[in-house]
Homo-oligomer: A and B are copies of this chain.
Amino acid sequence: MKNNIKFIAFDADDTLWINENYFREAEHAFCHLMMPWLPHEKTAEELFKTEMQNLKLFGYGAKGFALSLIETAIRISDGKITGGHMQKIIDIVKRLLERPVELLPDADEVLRTLKNKYALVLATKGDLLDQQRKISKSGLEGYFAHIEIMSDKRPQDYTRLLRRLGSKPQEFVMVGNSLKSDVLAPLEAGAYAVYVPYPIIWKHECTQEPRSPRYYKAEKLRDILDFLL
């Protein structure tokens, strides 16, 4: 792989810094709030159902998540949820947006090591402002030649990114923790992909590992150096 590659793109959430844990904590706080109406796991199931219904309209990120929390609360309380509870739900999301950025181990060192040999790209999806804020808080911004905040990561979204970079598919490798968004989609666009698993992942991003000569797996982020140095 490494002889072809010019661009290494990194996913951000749960690849370079912690994210899903914070969403899980927010979900947990929400389920706790809904206990007068439904047991914890049932609320989590209902929330996922709402999120899937709203995904096309709201997209990814914390604000769409907030609106799905509120709709779920209305539905499972049969409209009996109070204004006070609603404010608590909004406050859960505000706290989520204000979390500090905690880098994953080796993120800084891996980027610093690779940045002299490759053009590094940050390719992340979610709310525009929220992602920009996290990038800025991370202290990693200076390593990237290009930052792309994407509304989705489908094969055609990668094709558009490649065009924007002036990169051929076989000159580009995507590194990330979502098999669906960071691996299958860039592979389908003709690029390379490295899967770096994260211990927890949103159900929506779950899928099987692919078979492809352009697919690599790294147990930890720093293991990508084995393929790329």
Residues of A that sit less than 8 Å from B by CB: 57-60, 63-64, 66-67, 70-71, 73-74, 77-84, 86-87, 90, 93-94, 97-98, 127-130, 132, 149-152
Contact = CB atoms under 8 A, between A and B. Distances in A.
A74 B83 contact: yes
A122 to B, nearest CB: 14
A55 B87 CA distance: 17
A141 to B, nearest CB: 11
26 contacts: A57-B94, A57-B98, A58-B63, A59-B128, A59-B129, A60-B129, A63-B63, A63-B66, A63-B67, A66-B67, A67-B67, A70-B86, A71-B87, A73-B83, A74-B84, A74-B86, A74-B90, A77-B83, A78-B83, A79-B83, A80-B83, A86-B86, A127-B127, A128-B128, A128-B150, A129-B152
A202 B26 CA distance: 33
A93 B93 CA distance: 18
Given A59-B127, A59-B130, A81-B83, 15 more contacts: A57-B97, A59-B128, A60-B129, A63-B127, A66-B67, A67-B67, A71-B87, A74-B87, A74-B90, A78-B83, A79-B82, A80-B83, A81-B86, A86-B86, A132-B151
Contacts of A60: 129
Contacts of A80: 83
Contact of A127 (B73, B87, B128): B128
A136 to B, nearest CB: 11
Nearest to A97: B57
A51 to B, nearest CB: 14
Contacts of A59: 127-130
